[in-house]
Amino acid sequence: GQQVMQIPQYQHVQEGEDFTTYCNSSTTLSNIQWYKQRPGGHPVFLIQLVKSGEVKKQKRLTFQFGEAKKNSSLHITATQTTDVGTYFCADSGGSNYKLTFGKGTLLTVNP
């Protein structure tokens, strides 16, 4: 079945540094959704990317969908301690409902 690979698995940064997590697939992704899960919490929807080459921004967060729709990235500018958590990408596949999640990238921020 569809596999979504995320790198890195862990990332530790100093507050104020930038952070990027990457989501890759060997097959074409349908729609990519990004979620954030705080430690001990539940996944919270951040954004959905649908179109090839799409770029969306939410304040310090920038989301990109690759031209070939085989990769996506989430970039955080000037990290803050509130950014701590695990960031997951998920592909809806052709079903538009069954999400296949990556393993996530755990971000820790040193104040």
Partner 1 sequence: GAGVSQTPSNKVTEKGKYVELRCDPISGHTALYWYRQSLGQGPEFLIYFQGTGAADDSGLPNDRFFAVRPEGSVSTLKIQRTERGDSAVYLCASSRQGHGTEAFFGQGTRLTVV
- How far apart are the two ends of the chain, measured CA to CA in Å? 40
CB-nearer residue toward partner 1: 5 or 78: 5
Instruction: State yes or no: residue 19 binds partner 1 (CB under 8 A).
Output: no
In the complex, minimum distance from the CB of residue 16 to partner 1, in angstroms, rounded to a whole number: 27
Among 28, 68, 98, 110, binds partner 1 (CB under 8 A): 98
Among 31, 62, 77, 108, binds partner 1 (CB under 8 A): 31
110 CA to centre of own chain: 21
- With 0-12 CB in 10 A as exposed, 13-18 as middle and 19+ as buried, what is 30? middle
The residues, ordered by sequence, that sit 6+ positions from 81 with a Cβ below 8 Å of its Cβ are 15, 109, 111
Residues making contact with partner 1 (CB under 8 A): 31, 33, 41-45, 48, 88, 90, 92, 95-104
